[in-house]
């Protein structure tokens, strides 16, 4: 349920674009027209259009109009974009998801871990290692560190279902910003031991720093993906 007006307008226009009601390469109605159509101020329309632009749906051209640059995606594999849980992604791609916990414990951040994770030395952390299966194949090896202070009461059972679901629904903590870095690495012995590599000798590695609604770092994760089901999408805008 969209609360903010600009958000419901954003969704409304997005839907029309996806339905190709506003087709690729066409111009949207002008901001003034949309203002009248939705019964709001021009600023509110502009906020919705800015968000559509950030999502790569439209492109504003001064003096001319707002052009639709959205094209429906073809075959989807495993798309990572925005902040999504493993479960959400699996569901969106109609894949059967299973999680297996292969390590669950606590550690104190040493100098090396502090440097790479962004936590402070001495922070008490949960360390969770999980294997993710899609349609019966072990495709993702996750190594999560959570700040115990902000994520109390974690158990192996929760880890086997959805830690994010626990954090958001049980603890009531909101996840807001996620900073990610993507690289490609040679497989390790651990990868070979656990994952269905299917002939690959490399994995896609995503490291992740996650901040809650208070702007506090509470999670550092390294996800190692078998290449077949990995796809990372992005829209960039050039600054003047």
Partner DNA sequence: GCCGATTTGTCCGTATGTATC
Partner DNA sequence: CGATACATACGGACAAATCGG
Question: How far apart (Å, rounded) are the C-alpha atoms in residues 121 and 205?
Answer: 24
Residue tagged 């052009």 (tokens) = 67
Q: From the list DNA, a second copy, none, which binds 204 (C-beta under 5 to 8 Å, kind-based)?
A: a second copy
φ, ψ at 180 (rounded to 5°): -125, 150
Selected range binding a second copy among 33-41, 60-68, 97-105, 131-139, rule: CB under 8 A: 60-68
If the CB atoms of residues 100 and 190 are measured against a second copy, the closer one turns out to be 190
Q: Nearer Cβ to DNA, position 32 or 170?
A: 32
Restricting to residues 72-131, which ones interact with a second copy according to CB under 8 A?
74, 77, 81-83, 115-116, 118
Q: How far, in Å, CA of 183 to CA of 190, rounded? A: 18
Between 152 and 181, how does the x/- string for binding to a second copy read (CB under 8 A)? ----------------------xxxxxxxx
Tell me the backbone φ, ψ of residue 127, rounded to 5 degrees.
-120, 120
- Does 202 bind a second copy (CB under 8 A)? Our answer is yes
Which is nearest to 237 in space by CA: 7, 105, 53? 53
Classify residue 111 by burial, with Cβ atoms within 10 Å: 0-12, 13-18, 19+: exposed
**Contact in structure between 217 and 118 (CB atoms under 8 Å):** yes
Smaller CB distance to DNA: residue 5 or 137? Answer: 5
Q: Give the footprint of a second copy on residues 210-239 (CB under 8 A).
A: 211, 213-217, 225, 227, 230-239
- The answer to whether the beta carbons of residues 196 and 138 sit under 8 Å apart is yes
Find which of a second copy, DNA, none residue 131 binds, CB within 5 to 8 Å per kind: none
Separation CA 113–CA 102 (nearest Å)? 20
* Residues that bind DNA in the complex, under the rule CB under 7 A: 4-7, 27-28, 30-33, 39-44, 46-47, 49, 60-66, 213
106 binding partner (options a second copy, DNA, none; Cβ < 5 to 8 Å by kind): none
- Cα gap 223→203, rounded to integer Å: 9
Which of residues 36 and 54 has its CB atom nearest to a second copy in the complex?
54
41 binds, among DNA, a second copy, none (CB under 5 to 8 A by kind): DNA
> Which residues fall within 8 angstroms of residue 160, CB to CB, at 6 or more apart?
99, 100, 101, 130
Give the binding site for a second copy (CB under 8 A): 3, 7, 25, 53-54, 56, 58-59, 61, 64, 67-69, 71, 74, 77, 81-83, 115-116, 118, 174-186, 199-204, 211, 213-217, 225, 227, 230-240
């Amino acid at each position: 349920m969209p609360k903010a007006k600009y958000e419901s307008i954003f969704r409304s226009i997005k839907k029309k674009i996806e339905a190709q009601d506003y087709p690729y390469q066409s111009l949207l109605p002008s901001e003034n027209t949309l203002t009248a159509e939705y019964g709001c101020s021009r600023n509110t329309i502009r906020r919705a259009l800015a968000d559509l632009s950030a999502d790569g749906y439209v492109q504003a051209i001064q003096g001319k109009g707002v052009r639709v640059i959205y094209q429906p995606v073809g075959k989807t594999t495993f798309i990572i974009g925005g902040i999504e849980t493993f479960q959400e992604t699996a569901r969106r791609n109609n894949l059967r998801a299973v999680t297996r916990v292969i390590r669950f414990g606590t550690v104190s951040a040493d100098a090396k871990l502090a440097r790479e994770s962004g936590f402070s030395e001495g922070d008490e952390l949960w360390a969770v290692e999980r294997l993710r299966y899609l349609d019966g194949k072990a495709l993702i090896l996750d190594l999560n560190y959570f700040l115990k202070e902000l994520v109390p009461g974690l158990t192996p059972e929760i880890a086997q279902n959805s830690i994010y679901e626990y954090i958001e629904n049980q603890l009531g903590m909101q996840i807001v910003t996620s900073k990610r870095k993507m690289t490609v690495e040679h497989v390790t012995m651990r990868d070979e031991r656990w994952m269905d590599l299917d002939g690959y000798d490399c994995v896609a590695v995503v490291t992740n720093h996650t901040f809650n609604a208070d702007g506090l770092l509470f999670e550092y994760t390294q996800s190692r993906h078998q290449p077949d089901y990995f796809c990372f999408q992005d829209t960039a805008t050039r600054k003047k």
